[in-house]
Amino acid sequence: MHPVVPNPETLSAQTCWSCLREVEKAAHFCAHCRKLQPPADSDYFSFFGLQRRLNIDLNALEKEFYRLSRLLHPDVYARATPGEQQWSTQKSSLLNDAYRTLRDPIARTEYLLELEGVKLEEQSRAATDEARAHGTQKQQVVPPDLLEEVFELNMQLEEMRMSKKMGERDEQVAKDLESARSRFEQMLAASNDELRNLWNEWDQVIAAAAAAEDPQRVGVRDKMVALLNRRSYVRNLVRDVNQTLET
């Protein structure tokens, strides 16, 4: 492993490093001499030239990913200057990271919420990793409407673990757990539909060019945060049930 050489960002972002003519901000190439430009600060949506909308045409996204890959991949710059090689590696990594995030519905939504300044709640994937990174136990915030059901489920899970410790398997509890699992799986499926509806709401708000603090925009945003939290909570429940049933 070697440290990355620091970016030679001595030139202004508006001037092409090669022909010294003006370049559009965040452009990948100089319009005059066609040379690759250094990476600019850009979010995943704008890297693909997209607005911050959540309904994305995945076929078009893939096509654009391939098109940009052909232009930016380090293989294309094997004979270029070391600076261009480094930029192409950085830009390609941004392209790949962006494509990976945007093509996945949940990752895309989480990413957009982060751009909107939301720190996702304890159950989110990123928060789980962060909690792990700090060695803390992840806190579980139970969605209120699930309180009763989760209470019962936890009892059943405990019973199941106990009986397994004794080397037995309580068929009735196993059956209950299985039916609880299929209920939660249905919830997950339903939450996908809900999420899609919220995407539509969000995209309309964006189409109307609402400002960041627009109450409608903030409203949809918060609804999505709540839905994602609930979703990851339920997903964790399914995982717990699976683990208990398997082992």
Kindly tell me which of 22 and 129 has the beta carbon lying closer to other proteins: 129
CA dihedral 232, 236, 242, 243 (to 10 degrees): 150
| Cβ-contact 214, 204 below 8 angstroms | no
**Listed ranges 3-11, 42-50, 201-209, 220-228: which one lies at the site for other proteins (CB under 8 A):** 3-11
Q: Quick one: which of 65, 84, 64 has its CA closest to 74?
A: 84
Q: Name the minimum Å distance from CB 72 to other proteins.
A: 10
Q: Name the minimum Å distance from CB 178 to other proteins.
A: 23
The 10 Å Cβ neighbour count of residue 103 is 14
Q: Name the minimum Å distance from CB 66 to other proteins.
A: 6
**Listed ranges 64-72, 162-170, 207-215, 219-227: which one lies at the site for other proteins (CB under 8 A):** 64-72
The 10 Å Cβ neighbour count of residue 134 is 7
| Cβ-contact 27, 33 below 8 angstroms | no
65 three-class SS: helix
DSSP string, 10-42: TS-TTB-TTT--B--TT-SB-TTT-PBPPP---
Site string for other proteins, 21-40 (x = CB under 8 A): --------------------
Is residue 239 a contact point for other proteins (CB under 8 A)? Answer: no
Name which position in 48, 99, 111, 202 contacts other proteins (CB under 8 A).
Answer: 99
Name which position in 37, 92, 229, 244 contacts other proteins (CB under 8 A).
Answer: 92
Residue type at position 84: E
Is residue 48 a contact point for other proteins (CB under 8 A)? Answer: no
Q: What is the CA radius of gyration of the chain?
A: 24
Q: Name the minimum Å distance from CB 175 to other proteins.
A: 28
What are the CA-CA distances from residue 114 to residues 3, 207, 208, 221 (Å)?
Answer: 28, 20, 21, 10
Q: Name the minimum Å distance from CB 96 to other proteins.
A: 4
Sign of the alpha-carbon torsion through 184, 188, 190, 195: positive
Number of residues that bind other proteins (CB under 8 A): 29
**Listed ranges 25-33, 43-51, 62-70, 190-198: which one lies at the site for other proteins (CB under 8 A):** 62-70
Is residue 83 a contact point for other proteins (CB under 8 A)? Answer: no
Binding footprint of other proteins on the chain (CB under 8 A): 1-4, 6, 66, 69-70, 73-76, 78-79, 89-90, 92-94, 96-97, 99-100, 129-130, 132-135
